[in-house]
Structures are given as C-alpha cells and as structure tokens.
Amino acid sequence: MFSFEQTFYVNSQWWRLITPMFIHFSFAHLAFNCLWIYILGEKIEKIDGSFVFFCLVIFSAIFSNSLQFFWSNTSLFGGLSGVIYALIGFCMVNEMDSPYGRYDIPPGLYLFMIIWLVLGFLGIVEMFGFGAVANFAHLGGLISGIMFAVVYKFFPLNRSN
C-alpha cells in the first residue's frame, strides 16, 4: 500500500488527486454521474458561470479524492460521485440562503442524497448489490461543496446577480 505522503509528496503523483473522477467501474455508475452533472452542472453554470463550475469541480475532486485516499489508504477507487455531492452541497447552501428557489431543486432531493450517503456508510448500498462505495469521497465532496459555497458567498468569483 501507498501512504498519502509517499504518493503525493515523495513520488510527486499529483495527478492521482484528479484522475479518479474520470474512472468508473460500471456503465450504470457512469450514466448516473453524467445525469447529475447534466442536471446540477447546467444549473450552476447558468446562474454562477462556467468558471465557478470549473473551480468547484476541480476543488471538490481534489478534496474528495484526498479524503477517500487518506481514510481507505488505497488508490483503487473511481467515480465522479464526490464531485456530485459537492454540487449538491453547493446548491443546498446557496438555496438555503436565497429567498427564492435559486436552482429550483426540490428539497426532497437534498434529503434523498443525505440519506443515500448515510446508507452508504452503513453498508446498505453495498449490501443491495451496488458495489463498493467510496463513502469518504462522497462525504468529502459534500463537505467541499459546502465549504466552496460559504467562501463563494464572501468572495464571489463571477456573480452576475
């Protein structure tokens, strides 16, 4: 096994912080992630701009993949789900602070995604045949999306409204 320090600092394998978001282990996983990028990414890009969306994706990929690697101590994981959870966290914080439906996302969707996260940590998602889940990448994504939204509120990058 590789240690976090050995992989990223000693061997300078910085690419491992981003590349897991391009790797998917099933077509269903890829399709589900692409659907969420299409739905949430389009809303964020339309309201907050392409640069904000790009920065959120890169920041959340690095944060969620680092957390997953740190807690699992394995480099064999992939998917865009950490980024998806970051988009959810970003939208959730911005909508909670908005007097109107900023992204027009039903509140039940946020609840569903939080429940799905908890079910993943409890092992129920894997038990029903969805495969191994990078739970810490999901959690890291949600945390990074919330952090990005809070920072974005104080230092807007490209706010048009």
- Counts of helices then strands in the chain (DSSP H, E): 8, 0
Active site residue 24: no
Residue 38 identity (one-letter amino acid): Y
Active site residue 66: no
Within 10 Å of residue 28's Cβ, how many Cβ atoms?
11
From 152, 130, 48, select the one nearest 81 (Cα to Cα).
130
Cα(24)–Cα(139) distance, integer angstroms: 18
Residue 63 identity (one-letter amino acid): F
Catalytic residue among 24, 64, 66, 138: 138
Catalytic residue among 3, 81, 98, 144: 81
Q: Within 13 A of 110's CA, how many CA atoms are on the CB side? A: 19
Indicate which residues carry an active-site annotation: 81, 138
